């Protein structure tokens, strides 16, 4: 994972934390909470896609390295 990717994931996590605080704030309206829960879902999807892509890339890299080591 590049430094940029790690920074991106950290930024998303920070935004998720702030949105969660707002959802839990008693002054947030019911409608606002519902909209923010949708935002949280969207942010979670972004994180999942980025993490999945990183794992897929790492697995492909490992496969290529293993294959290269086995070939004569």
pLDDT at 20: 93
pLDDT at 62: 65
Burial level of 11, CB count in 10 A (0-12/13-18/19+)? exposed
**Residues of the chain predicted below pLDDT 70:** 61-72
Q: Is the pTM of this model over 0.75?
A: no
Q: How far apart are the first and last CA of the chain?
A: 30
Residues across the chain: 72
pLDDT at 29: 96
pLDDT at 69: 58
Give the integer Cα–Cα distance in Å for 40 and 38.
5
pLDDT at 1: 74
pLDDT at 72: 53
User: Domain map of the chain by residue range?
Assistant: 3-70
Give the integer Cα–Cα distance in Å for 55 and 14.
22
């Amino acid at each position: 994972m590049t430094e940029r990717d790690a920074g991106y994931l950290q930024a998303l996590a920070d935004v998720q934390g702030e949105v969660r605080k707002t959802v839990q704030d008693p002054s947030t309206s019911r409608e606002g909470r519902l909209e923010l829960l949708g935002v949280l879902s969207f942010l979670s999807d972004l994180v999942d896609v980025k993490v999945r892509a990183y794992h897929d890339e790492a697995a492909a890299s490992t496969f290529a390295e293993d294959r290269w080591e086995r070939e004569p």
